[in-house]
């Protein structure tokens, strides 16, 4: 009985955790939506997140400025994504192979630089200023809603702003329209005198910025950089993109489902004593099941 009742009192806690955990996923997947719309699924999200986390945290630690870290994380993600774009669009390399290369390179570069700069390729803790809360205290004090919705940091809130802004750009701006047209038929767009490749490059840059911020959000949440900090979030974000069917709002909804599952499983662990190593499989399992469910729906509609 007491287990059941405490379970319900913890629901606000689960929601709060899920909203925070969704932040990095939202940055990465909505960012990754841009190149997908332009017809270039970016499978390097995982690596870009790691690069953003490493360079962002290193800069935040060195400068003592949260904003400086965020800018560096965005720049690192963007530069790497632009490298990918150049290799694929100018040198005509295979999109997925080049994406895998970026993932592989990200792991290598962060390990080598971590060893060179911090003397270890394991966990690097950083002294960074505390992240300011996004809402004033009186909102946070509202019972139930306060802890759930208004206790979040500016990073989590920016993730949702990123979704909103991206949705507006995709649905309402000329850039969004042309990008979507590029994804549907790049040759036709080219024939109209619009440089399709420039739109694809810009979209890739946006995915790099999103992933950089995603990694930075992960790093800031633990005040440290750890190897493999993305731990599959780049791939889970790809599934969110697939499930979201080209709409930023639905991509965000998919992220929220994944984050809720993560939060829920973290919480269940306390009750069911699932071995922690096995819990690591859960996000992937949830993602795989959603992927299959999404595939079933698609094929049912297609037939």
Partner 1 sequence: MTGAKPLSSLSRTLFALLAAVLLALIILALSAISAPSGRQAGFFEMASHFFITPFSNPYFFGNLLADSVPLMIAGLGILIAFNSRNFNLGGEGQIYSGALAAVVVVLAIQEHASPVAVWILGACAGLATGAVLGGLAGILKAVWRISEMISSFLLSAIAIAVTDFLVAGPLQDPNSNFQTTREIAPRLLLPGILQPSKLDVSLFAAILLIAAAGFAGKRSRIGFELRICGENEEFARYCGIRVPAYQAGAMAVSGAMHGLAGALLVIGLQGRLIRGFSGGLGWSAITVALLAQNSEAGIIPAALFIAFLKSGSDQIMIGSGLPSEIAALLQAAIMLVITMQTIPLVRRMKNKPAGAVQKRGSP
Q: How far apart are CA 171 and CA 16, in angstroms?
A: 29
Q: Which is nearer to partner 1, 232 or 249 (CB)?
A: 232
Structural tokens at position 117: 């700069």
- In the list 6, 11, 67, 96, the residue contacting partner 1 (rule: CB under 8 A) is 96
| Binds partner 1 by CB under 8 A, chosen from 71, 79, 89, 154 | 89
Q: Tell me the window of 18-26, 72-80, 171-179, 281-289 that interacts with partner 1 (CB under 8 A).
A: 281-289
Name the residue with tokens 């990123």.
162
Does 79 sit near partner 1 (CB under 8 A)?
no
Smallest distance, partner 1 to C-beta of residue 221, A: 21
Structure token digits, residue 200: 């694809």
Do residues 97 and 192 make contact, with C-beta atoms less than 8 angstroms apart? no
User: Does residue 246 interact with partner 1 by CB under 8 A?
Assistant: no
DSSP letters, 64-119, are --HHHHHHHHHHHHHHHHHHHHIIIIIS---HHHHHHHHHHHHHHHHHHHHHHHHS
- Site residues for partner 1, window 10-69 (CB under 8 A)? 39-41, 43
Q: Please give the Cα distance from 196 to 188 (Å, whole number).
A: 9
Shortest CB 179 distance to partner 1, Å: 13
End-to-end CA distance of the chain: 48
Contact of 52 with 59, CB cutoff 8 Å:
no
Cβ proximity to partner 1: between 111 and 131 the closer is 111
Tell me which of 72, 158, 200, 202 binds partner 1, using CB under 8 A.
200
Q: Which is nearer to partner 1, 24 or 183 (CB)?
A: 183
Select from 70-78, 173-181, 210-218, 275-283 the region that touches partner 1 (CB under 8 A): 275-283
Contact flag: residue 90 with partner 1 (CB under 8 A)? yes
> Given the complex with partner 1, which of 4 and 303 has the nearer CB atom?
303
Beta strands in the chain (DSSP E): 124-125, 224-225
Cβ pair 48, 106 in contact under 8 A: yes
Contact with partner 1 (CB under 8 A): which of 195, 245, 270, 271?
195
Instruction: With beta carbons less than 8 A apart as the criterion, state whether 260 and 18 touch.
Output: yes
- Residue selected from 11, 161, 172, 298 as contacting partner 1 according to rule CB under 8 A: 298
The closest alpha carbon to 26, from 237, 238, 186, belongs to 237
List the interface residues with partner 1, window 204-243 (CB under 8 A). Answer: 232, 235, 238-239, 242
- Six token digits for residue 251: 């991509």
Q: Give the strand pairing for 124-125 and 224-225.
A: antiparallel
Contact region for partner 1 (CB under 8 A) — 19-27, 51-59, 261-269, 270-278? 270-278
Q: Does 122 bind partner 1 (CB under 8 A)?
A: no
Give least dist CB 81 to partner 1, A: 14
Residues paired with residue 42 on neighbouring β-strands, in sequence order = none
Q: What are phi and psi of 111, to 5 degrees?
A: -65, -45
Q: What residues line the site for partner 1 (CB under 8 A)? A: 39-41, 43, 87-98, 100-102, 104-105, 107-109, 111-112, 115-116, 121, 183, 186-187, 190, 195-197, 200, 232, 235, 238-239, 242, 275, 277-278, 280-281, 284-285, 287-288, 291-292, 295-296, 298-299
């Amino acid at each position: 009985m007491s287990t059941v009742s405490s379970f319900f009192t913890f629901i606000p806690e689960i929601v709060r955790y899920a909203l925070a955990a969704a932040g990095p996923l939202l940055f990465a997947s909505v960012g990754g939506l841009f190149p997908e719309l332009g017809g270039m699924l970016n499978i390097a999200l995982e690596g870009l997140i790691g690069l953003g986390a490493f360079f962002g945290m290193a800069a935040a630690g060195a400068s003592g400025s949260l904003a400086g870290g965020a800018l560096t994380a965005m720049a690192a993600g963007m530069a790497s994504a632009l490298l990918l774009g150049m290799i694929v669009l100018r040198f005509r390399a295979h999109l997925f192979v080049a994406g895998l290369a970026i993932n592989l390179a990200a792991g290598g570069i962060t390990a080598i630089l971590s060893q060179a700069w911090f003397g270890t390729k394991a966990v690097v803790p950083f002294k960074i200023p505390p992240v300011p809360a996004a809402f004033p205290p009186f909102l946070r004090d509202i019972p139930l809603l306060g802890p759930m919705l208004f206790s979040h940091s500016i990073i989590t809130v920016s993730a949702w702003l990123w979704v909103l802004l991206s949705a507006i750009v995709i649905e309402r701006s000329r850039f969004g329209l042309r990008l979507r047209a590029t994804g549907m038929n790049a040759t036709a767009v080219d024939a109209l005198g619009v440089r399709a490749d420039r739109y694809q490059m810009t979209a890739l840059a946006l995915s790099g910025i999103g992933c950089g911020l995603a990694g930075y959000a992960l790093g800031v949440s633990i005040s440290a950089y750890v190897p493999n900090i993305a731990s599959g979030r780049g791939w889970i974000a790809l599934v969110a993109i697939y499930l979201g069917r080209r709409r930023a709002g639905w991509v965000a909804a998919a992220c929220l489902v994944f984050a809720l599952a993560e939060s829920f499983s973290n919480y269940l662990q306390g009750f069911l004593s699932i071995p922690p190593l096995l819990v690591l499989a859960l996000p992937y399992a949830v993602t795989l099941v959603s992927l299959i469910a999404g595939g079933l729906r698609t094929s049912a509609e297609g037939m």
